[in-house]
Amino acid sequence: MSTSPEYQRLFDETHDRMQDVGSFDLVITVAATAAILGARKVLAIHGASPETLQVEYKAKDGDTPRTLADKLSGIAIKELIRAHYSNCRINEEETGDEKARNGNEDAWHVDPLDGTSSFAEGQRYSTVGIAVYRNNLPFAAAICHPFEKELVVAQAGKGTHMFSVDEHLVGLSYARQLEVSRATTLVGGIAYIDALFNAKTSGPKLRFMKDLVGMANNNLGFRMSGSNIDQQLKVAKGSARLTLTDAVGGFFDLAAGGLAIIEAGGMFTDENGRPVSESTQVAIGTNGPFHDDVLELARLCYRGYQGFR
């Protein structure tokens, strides 16, 4: 862990800002600080040449890409977590699942760069997401959006809060508590859909989208940013009414954004209405009123679906 004065200022300021919104557990400060440090690594290498980015494709994950930014962000995040919690479980996308030791019940689910395909093409939608599960229940989440200069934190029972981060991802200032949309239908709304289309996702996803349009009386807009965590945040912020994730590379694709939606007053479940888990392959987030109707469509469209790989 860095012991530089700059790092210590960031950690102390983050700790103070978390307390401002009623989050006193050190876990929240560590998660939020780690998300910012990871996002700095992402921002520093954005727009570089393919040679500098070191783009490679992971065959075991459906030929999805990985870059140097994914690796550097993951290293910075894990270093900070381990400095404070040496025995916890860390499930991180690039280095795998390190089991807990000595009976520690906290599990950290880390996506050091969500939206790598967009990032590798120079786009600005990618996020860094961290979620902490305690005794197998969601406890805390921190998401840093380096291009929007935002930090979002959520804690079970304490809401979802957004902070603005300065140009260099250093100073924090409180923005607002997030709330989902109050709309009661999908009509005229926006739905964010998982951007990966392949032989396994295309059929059920296109059927689901068609049925959603019918549910919305032929008045629905679709968006895709390439980062599922970014798309989940859109629902938590109230700027979208629905998000679908069906290319689940790991629980880190669901855990942080899902808690942000729930603590903002929405719903985030699998297609059967159960809380998301490490076996979930399809996740639906909505602002709430029509959630059950959407799940009915998803169950029909994704019947027999075993994941995108």
Total tally of structural domains belonging to the chain: 2
Verify that 124 and 163 share a domain, yes or no.
yes
Verify that 17 and 157 share a domain, yes or no.
yes
Question: Has residue 40 been placed in a domain?
Answer: yes
Quick one: average pLDDT of 77-96? 95
pLDDT at 6: 79
Do 29 and 81 meet the contact criterion of CB atoms below 8 Å apart? no
Verify that 17 and 137 share a domain, yes or no.
yes
Strand partners, 114: 127
Verify that 197 and 76 share a domain, yes or no.
no
Instruction: Return the structure tokens found at 146.
Output: 């380096």
Question: Has residue 306 been placed in a domain?
Answer: no
Residue 227 has φ and ψ, to the nearest 5°, of -120, 115
d(CA 253, CA 75): 18
Using the 3D structure, point to which of 147, 177, 207 is the last residue of a domain: 177
pLDDT at 171: 85
Using the 3D structure, point to which of 135, 157, 177 is the last residue of a domain: 177
d(CA 129, CA 138): 14
Question: Has residue 307 been placed in a domain?
Answer: no
Query: Would the pLDDT of 2 be above 60?
Result: no
- Containing domain of residue 60, as a range? 5-177
Averaged pLDDT of the chain: 95
Do 252 and 129 meet the contact criterion of CB atoms below 8 Å apart? yes
Verify that 115 and 193 share a domain, yes or no.
no
Verify that 137 and 10 share a domain, yes or no.
yes
Query: Would the pLDDT of 203 be above 80?
Result: yes
Using the 3D structure, point to which of 152, 177, 202 is the last residue of a domain: 177
- What DSSP assignment string belongs to 143-181? EEETTTTEEEEEETTTEEEEEEE-TTS--EEEEEE----
pLDDT at 3: 62
Question: Has residue 154 been placed in a domain?
Answer: yes
Question: Has residue 50 been placed in a domain?
Answer: yes
Question: Has residue 183 been placed in a domain?
Answer: no
d(CA 265, CA 238): 10
Low-confidence winner among 1-5, 213-217, 255-259, 292-296 (lowest mean pLDDT): 1-5
Q: What is the pLDDT of residues 103-118, one digit of tens each?
A: 778 999 999 999 999 9
Instruction: Kindly report the CATH number assigned to the domain that includes residue 90.
Output: 3.30.540.10
Query: Would the pLDDT of 1 be above 60?
Result: no
Q: What is the pLDDT of residues 11-64, one digit of tens each?
A: 999 999 999 999 999 999 999 999 999 999 999 999 999 899 999 987 666 678
Instruction: Kindly report the CATH number assigned to the domain that includes residue 256.
Output: 3.40.190.80
Q: What is the pLDDT of residues 140-198, one digit of tens each?
A: 999 999 999 999 999 999 999 999 999 889 889 999 999 999 999 999 999 999 999 99
Instruction: Return the structure tokens found at 247.
Output: 């290319």
Nearest to 264 by CA among 181, 149, 147, 175: 181
Question: Has residue 197 been placed in a domain?
Answer: yes
Verify that 122 and 200 share a domain, yes or no.
no
Verify that 250 and 273 share a domain, yes or no.
yes
Say whether 212 sits in a helix, a strand or coil.
helix
pLDDT-derived band at 102 (thresholds 50, 70, 90) equals: confident
Do 127 and 116 meet the contact criterion of CB atoms below 8 Å apart? no
d(CA 1, CA 128): 19
Verify that 169 and 236 share a domain, yes or no.
no
